[in-house]
Structure 1
Amino acid sequence: MDGEREADEIVVVPKKELEEKEELIKSLEAKARKMKSDFSRYKEQIEDKEEVIRRKAYSELANRLLSVADTLDRAMDSQETDGGCEVVEKMLEGTRSNLGMTYNQLLNAIGVTPIVPLPGERFDDELHTAIETTPNSFLPDKAVVSLVRKGYMLNGELIRPAEVVISKGGEPGEEEIKTETTPDTILSKFIRRVESRLFKRKFKELKEREQELSKNEEMLRNSVKELDAREEEIKKRMEEWTARKEAEESRIRELEQRKEVLTAELEESKRQLSIIHEHLKALDAKKDKMIIESIALNRYNKELLAEKEKLLNAIEEMERTKESVNAELRELEERKARSIEELFKVEEELEKTKELLNAELRKKEGREEKRKESSLMELEMLC
């Protein structure tokens, strides 16, 4: 029986406590949403910062390597020959192809696109820089005449404009006429000697340029090392961000678990609240019954009030009678007081009379004593 009673008992939770739990759940949900939004914003900020750092690093590396690219470009342009020794031409061609391959590999490695405007192309002030103007009637105004130095773009962003010579739209300059001379035997020997000297000189220049390229390659390696160091720093930041992300995710999981617990408590509270509502309905029915009874009681009260008015009227009459009786009593009291005064006077007179009588009695007793003594004396004398 006790177990059934305990099972049938209803745990009544105050409405204020339910509202506090609902407010707590809402605040926790809002806090979780805010943490998620803050975390997403923080993630976006970190990604933006990483992108800015990456772009800045690549831009600095590209700016440092532009001198190497310019050196390779000048080396390829300077190795043009007007004919001569076939061996020298083959060596120069091989060197030119190697330099071109190195140049292209360098540009591909750093993600740089060269800007090479062709002669006759329209001048673009966003990509080109005019360092000189020359009159030319064969080209339109502000057209590219020749390229002085290449420009470069990194991931769609301009890091250096191309330096060009543009046309002014004037008379063309006089063309130089090249005269061809028919060499003779002595001249051909002299030319071969000159070509051999030129070959030695160019070979020496190639060695110097090779040394310069090795220096530039060393600088490129240092830049790559710096880039690797920055990548390591970015990785460390990513690891820190990942650790922080995991901590935030664990905190979010804890909040979700707490939310589930509070949700279960809220469901239990709602169930208890529904039971309370049923009890409230029963109480409302009792209330209706009590209202009906109160209406009947009001009618009975009205009847009682009518009787009360009658009683009050009777009490007023009794009060008036009481006042008249009190007046009579006061008169009787006054009479009594006068009677008492008269009685006191009579008693005083009686006391005085009593004293007089006592005095007379004492006198009579003295007289009788004297008579007795005289009688005794007479008897003694007679005896």
Structure 2
Amino acid sequence: MVRSEVTGLRPVDPENPVRVYYKEHALGIVVLALLVDSSGTAPVEEWKSRYDKLRQEFKDYIETSRRNEEIKRQELKIDSAKKLLVVADSLSRITAVYNPISCDIVKNYSENLKKNIDVIYGQLLSASGLTPIEPAAGDKFDDRMHTAIGLEYGTAYPENSVFRVIRKGYRIGDNVVRPAEVVISKRPVEVIKIKKPGLRDRILRWISPAKLRFAEVNQRMNEFERIQKEKVERLTQDITSLKDIITQLEARNKRVDELERVQKEKVERLTQDITSLKDIITQLEARNKRVDELERVQKEEIERLRRDIATLKNMIMELEAKNDKVNEFECMQEEKIEELTQDISSLRSMVIELEEKLKEQALLQSGYHEYQENAVFKNNQE
């Protein structure tokens, strides 16, 4: 017999050795599984494992679809937020304008207007889900959150840090809608300091000017070589870090390619499974049509049988009435038979009496005949 070991499934036709089980999914998609009994060509466990694998792949497909929908919603939210950035920039520029040289009335009006604009700006950010990116001076430069549009040489802030914010950036959660435009702080270029020649150097230069000029050139060359070495070391470090980043990106691209290949294989398998399921559904629809036809024929036969049963009930009632009459007739016949039995018994007794009388008469007749014969014999002898 077929073992229905798949939970939550209902058989379509219990009489068929190859049973088709189905289950309605939450999204309206029909998941099918075929189970064949031990006398069939395919084992039950194989079909069950295939069903479990297909169900897991279907769950993965649903999860991937949900993630893709979430990404699309985030992209739509970011696109709609980008359209509001012009308004946000205008409001932030208005609040940044402040004129201290004005009368008290204008100052109060400006302050109230600034407060109202700040409230509107905050409502705009909360409604669109935007969070401003406004780094402070001296913060570390983040290439994901910031965009460098200029350099500022000085020693007030660390190197490669934010010197000034030109335009705010905005983000939604971890997604950057627009990076902040900043100016980066850089160290000033080192100036080669040359010592001024003293009195001794001047005298020696006057005595041997070529030797002093050669020593001065050597000093400059050594200083230049030192600076070049430092630059080369920094460039070497930058190149090494870039190589590491490129290696990571290549490995990541390989993983992405592998994931794409796996996803394509899964999609192909799902497409094949869906095609086979469509064929099975077509067969089931044809089979359901035949079942509907059989149900219609069965209903007609049931109606005909009901009519036959009604006629049989009427006949049974008539037969019961006749049976009652027959029972009454049998009772009368039994009474008559009893009377006849009594008559027969009386007749038997009369027959017995007659037989006895006949026997007596026969004896008398036989004695009379013997007497006559004896008399005749005597007469003959005489």
State the TM-score bracket (shorter-chain normalisation).
Answer: 0.3 to 0.5
- The TM-score normalised by the length of structure 2 is 0.39
Structure ID, larger Rg: 1
More strand by share: 2
Question: What's the TM-score, normalizing by structure 1?
Answer: 0.39
